[in-house]
């Protein structure tokens, strides 16, 4: 039976310049990121060794770099880039779900946030 454990990072917040509108790309805004990393963590559970799991500090650093180094028009593209980067870097991860939120998006109405969720798996 396949064992699946989960490491979660919740509400990592970054200031970046994503969006379709020129004001969004010029002025920037806050973006919130969640990731769920599914993997068999048996080796780490037994050994208590960071090298045998997914270092969530390194995951956070990768997310930070991806969110702040390039402008994206779409949250979908940003979420996909994060998911692909995690899957490429940590082979122990069987699947990843990435949620990207934009608080108070520029829509004609009152909206707390918009969110895109992307899941990638092996």
- Pick among 3.30.1130.10, 3.30.230.70, 3.40.50.2020, 3.30.565.10: CATH of 5-121: 3.30.1130.10
Mean pLDDT of 91-99: 96
pLDDT category, 70, cuts 50, 70, 90?
A: very high
Mean pLDDT of 34-54: 94
- Enumerate the domain spans of the chain: 5-121
Kind of pairing between the strands at 93-103 and 29-39: antiparallel
Whole-number Å distance between alpha carbons of 78 and 86: 13
Mean pLDDT of 79-89: 98
| Amino acid 2: pLDDT | 67
Mean pLDDT of 14-30: 93
Mean pLDDT of the chain: 94
Enumerate the active-site residues: 102
| Amino acid 99: pLDDT | 98
Residues in CB range of 29: below 8 A, 6 or more apart: 15, 16, 17, 18, 19, 102, 103, 104
Residue 1 has pLDDT above 60, yes or no: no
């Amino acid at each position: 039976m396949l064992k699946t454990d989960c490491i979660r990072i919740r509400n990592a917040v970054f200031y970046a310049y994503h969006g379709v509108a020129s004001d969004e790309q010029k002025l920037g805004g806050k973006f919130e990121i969640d990731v769920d990393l599914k993997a068999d963590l048996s080796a780490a559970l037994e050994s208590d060794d960071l090298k045998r799991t997914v270092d969530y500090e390194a995951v956070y650093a990768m997310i930070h770099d991806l969110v702040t180094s390039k402008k994206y028009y779409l949250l979908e593209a940003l979420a996909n880039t994060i998911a692909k980067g995690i899957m490429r870097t940590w082979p122990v991860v069987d699947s990843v779900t990435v949620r990207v939120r934009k608080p108070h998006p520029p829509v004609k109405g009152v909206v707390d946030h918009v969110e895109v969720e992307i899941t990638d798996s092996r």
